[in-house]
Amino acid sequence: MGVALASLIAVAACMETAPRPDASRERPIAPPPGVAQNAPSEASQSLAGFYARVQRELLSQGLLRTDGGGPDTPFDADMALRNFERIAFYDEYARGGGLRAAANAPGALRRWEGPVRFAVEFGGTVLPSRQTSDRQMVAGYVQRLARLTGHPLGMAPAAGANFHVLMVGEDDRSQMLNRVKSLVPNIDRASLGLLQAMPRGIHCLVMAFAEGPSDHTYTRAIAVIRAEHPDLLRLSCVHEELAQGLGLANDSPAARPSIFNDDDEFALLTTQDELFLRILYDDRLAPGMTLSQARPIIYDIAATALGGPS
């Protein structure tokens, strides 16, 4: 079996291959119906206040744009090619090295080949009203991703999912860790350590795993999104982490307009990001392709989409 790959907030780390978890072991992380939910702890309330301030500050600076880009953010086929290369072929952090920077060298193309079945699971502190709206929000975004990629993406019950979106508060940490370990029993220490002690600067993260014969074909993913986020930051996390979990794992400071850029200018998927997803799942590309093999195909797709020479 291949080495399982993981991506944590634009982090890609090497994981020990784990057998596919038995469906009977999979359980939603939310408590059973009727179980009372405790008031958020001081730590959770502090995080909620912090993220509310972060969102207000970013909005006051004209950041967290939701327009997808416009006349002020033009890009052409050459720019899209360079940006896609950095985002799809490079890693921000060394595999298996936690937050240690990766070597500045391209890897191979990574994406899903089989159907991607999403499930949203909630920690016990997430209110039922929030669960309903967030589940609808994720389902709507998954439909958009399916249209863009042309790949079979859809929602599923937790037991039948292979892409798990965990919406959890600080007080749900132990629940979340148990759930992740049930899904990936052999998860490595570096990845588990990030989950155990997520600094508040990490708003959300995604891990994508390759559990089959190919190291470059994803078969399972887990996104962790903080329930303490205000609405726009939470939506932004969903947009970025689900797209990263499909194979756009890195960030690039040159990518504009794009959510795959640490400057927070854009909160939601942009027109260029949509092009990246179309490129990534184009039938002419395949998992394991090197950059030199893929480059002429990528340029041809971008040039055709943008009306330039091919």
Angle, alpha carbons 149-151-156 (nearest 5°): 120
- Pairing verdict, β 116-122 and 153-155: parallel
Strands (E), 186-241: 204-209, 217-218, 220-226
pLDDT at 77: 96
Cis peptide before 33 (omega within 30 of 0): no
**Can you point out the beta strands (E) in the chain?**
4-7, 12-15, 111-112, 116-122, 153-155, 163-168, 204-209, 217-218, 220-226
- The 8 Å CB, 24+ separation contacts for 95-101 are 95/5, 95/6, 95/12, 95/13, 95/14, 96/13, 96/14, 96/15, 96/188, 96/190, 97/13, 97/190, 98/13, 98/190, 98/193, 98/194, 99/11, 99/194
Rounded Cα distance between 186 and 39, Å, is 33
- Which pair of tokens denotes residue 241? 């982490």
What is the predicted pLDDT for the residue at 103? 62
Rounded to whole angstroms, how far apart are CA atoms 49 and 26? 33
Query: Which residue, among 224, 184, 188, has the nearest Cα to 203 in the 3D structure?
Result: 224
Low-confidence residues of the chain: pLDDT under 70: 1-38, 93-103, 308-310
In tens, the pLDDT along 84-136 reads: 999 999 977 656 555 555 667 789 999 999 999 999 999 999 999 999 999 99
Q: Tell me the β-bridge partners of 165.
A: 120, 223
> Taking Cα atoms as reference points, which of 26, 11, 276 lies closest to residue 163?
26
Q: Which pLDDT score is estimated for 39?
A: 82
Q: Kindly state the tokens that stand for 155.
A: 């929602």
Run of H or E residues at 145: helix 128-149
Q: Which two tokens stand for residue 141?
A: 């975004």
d(CA 29, CA 25): 12
Q: Is residue 252 within 8 Å of residue 241, measured between CB atoms?
A: no
d(C-alpha 132, C-alpha 154), whole Å: 17
Domains within the chain, CATH numbers bracketed: 4-19+42-306 (3.40.390.10)
Q: What is the pLDDT of residue 105?
A: 76
In the numeric block, the tokens 């001081």 are attached to 42
- How much is the pTM? 0.88
What's the pLDDT at 99?
A: 58
- The CA distance from 219 to 208, in Å, is 8
Buried b (16+ CB within 10 A) or exposed e, 112-150: beeebbbbbbbbbbbeeeebeebbebbeebbeebeebbe
